[in-house]
Amino acid sequence: MSTASLWPQSAASAFTAAAELGYDGVEVMVWADPLSQDVDALRGQVRRTGVPVLAVHAPCLLITQRIWSADPEQRLRRSVAAAGELGARTVVVHPPFRWQRRYADGFADLVAELEDASGIAVAVENMFPVRRGRAVLSAFRPSIDPTDVGHRNYTLDLSHTAAAGADALAMARRMGSGLAHVHLADGTGLPRDEHLVPGRGTQPCAPLCARLVEGGFTGQVVLEINTRRARTAADRRADLAASLEFARAHLT
């Protein structure tokens, strides 16, 4: 489970929920929550709950551009270092923003260098465009689709394919053996990042899971859903439990 699934609550709440519901581990989203930025504190959560950190999501959102460093390269390097210290095998990262020209020019080489040096998969995630009326604009360079560049490892996010109007199964085929990480969520096709409980939107969540099983997938599947609109703690817990039930049913 991604710790982002309990935002705006602290990552500590995510560790607790993951332990109580029976998740195998967490992906730590590094953002404004001080706990998410502190490796020693995260180790403490692992000891407290028995829930391991399986992946780290680098701070590459618009709202996290100053966390750890104003330099995106340093943020990615620090994310890989944190993953190594926590025993996580994957770092999730977004493609560079269009205005990060120097970072974008060296991004593919940087990702390969970090993977070679650390043994950690730096899985580049598919994104979605911004729509303004009939205009469709990408904030990412060179595009929202990381397979346009070509990397060793990819993250496939089904909420992002929904917002982009992209074919998730076709993207999985393009990623091929490089598909190392999946953000399992859903969306209705609205031009925004919905992160619905899988099965409550239009994305081929079940067919994708079946394809992963048939192909002997050895990567990680992470539930990254949005529970901000849950009216009560019980509603939030029910959504997290339903997501886990869906994943276990379709990945068996």
pLDDT digits (tens, 9 = 90+) for 163-222: 999 999 999 999 999 999 999 999 999 989 999 999 999 999 999 999 999 999 999 999
DSSP per-residue letters across 151-212: -S-EEEEHHHHHHHT--HHHHHHHHGGGEEEEEE-B--S-SS---BPTTSSSS-HHHHHHHH
Average pLDDT over residues 229-240: 95
- The pLDDT of residue 224: 98
- Whether 133 shows a pLDDT value over 80: the answer reads no
Dig out the tokens for 220 from the structure: 């990680």
Say if residue 142 is preceded by a cis peptide, omega within 30 of 0: yes
Share of the chain above pLDDT 70, in %: 100
Report the 10 Å Cβ neighbour count for 179: 23
User: What ranges do the domains of the chain cover?
Assistant: 3-251
Class of domain 3-251: alpha beta
Predicted confidence (pLDDT) per residue in 58-109, tens digit: 999 888 988 999 999 999 999 999 999 999 999 999 999 999 999 999 999 9
Angle at 153 between CA 148 and CA 156, to 5 degrees: 75
Residue 60 backbone phi and psi in degrees, to 5:
-125, 15
